[in-house]
Amino acid sequence: MKKRSNIRLTIGDFSKYCQVTVKSLRHYEKLGLLVPNEVDKWTGYRYYDVSQMQQLNGILRLKKMGFTLEEIRELLDEGTHLPSMPQIESKTRETEEQIKMLSQRLDMLRRTADSLRQIADMERFTTTSLPSIIVASHRQTIKRMEDLTPLAANVIGPEIQRNGFKRTQPIYCFSINYGTEFREGDVDIEYCEQVEQMYEDTPIIKFKRLPEVPLAVCMKCRGPYGFMRENFLELFNYITSHNMRVTGEPRLQYVEGPWNQKDSTKWLTIIQIPVTYLPQRFNTTK
């Protein structure tokens, strides 16, 4: 007959004090690992003895050592809470094999993650030439970059449509910031859209042919325009790390934006920066 103490703990209290779920306690009871000291025959309420806290600690300790619940039950059936030395040595070898397997898995996961990051970089950063094109352009000083969207939608776009100027398909539109420094309320911006041919200028639209850019680094940027500073930082780090230098003004190509996408996280802007490779430096010292 089990020895009882003066304190009876309900399964809820026992769960709370030992920080083990009631579901786990019922599972241990079902396996015969930890049976309540008393079960009320009328209510079915389960009560645990204080001494069973130590029994539960022993079970949890063995679990942390890697023993299965079945193995723990066998130990308890043998009347001991401690594994034998051969059992510990066996579990040690098993754990070492698991560590080796997990180490290999970790190495594989890291190499796969590196490959995916490289693929993502390759998709995000590209180097290409920008062909010579004819553009309809409008240059104006605006207060802030956010003012460019309504300017393009309400002034430049309608002017192009009203005069029947034919845009190329897909539409290639971009802006160039000509300011030599940042000035609040003073942004010297040129907005351009590629068109099929030269047309006669209007008071709003001027036409010109842009020369070919032999080499440009292009970076896809997702998100609102407020993150453009971070994007430029990342792009210039990429240019520097690939032994390049900037040779012209960046273009900001607008692919998805507030005119057709309410969710700003899905806006897509492509920064295109003309570059050239720096000459290789050779160490001639001996």
Closest listed residue to residue 265, CA positions, set 231, 232, 225, 233: 225
Write the pLDDT tens digit of every residue in 222-281.
888 877 888 899 899 999 999 999 999 999 999 998 888 888 888 899 999 999 999 876
Contact 132, 183 (CB under 8 A): no
Question: pTM for the full model?
Answer: 0.57
User: Bridge partners of 128?
Assistant: 216
pLDDT of residue 244: 94
Options 1.10.10.10, 3.40.50.720, 1.10.1660.10, 3.40.50.300; CATH for 8-80 is 1.10.1660.10
Closest listed residue to residue 207, CA positions, set 222, 217, 192, 220: 192
pLDDT of residue 187: 87
Q: Which helix (H) or strand (E) holds 212?
A: none
Instruction: List, as one string, the DSSP characters of 19-46.
Output: T--HHHHHHHHHHTSS--SEE-TTT--E
The residue type of 137 is S
Residue ranges in the chain modelled with pLDDT below 50: 1-2, 286
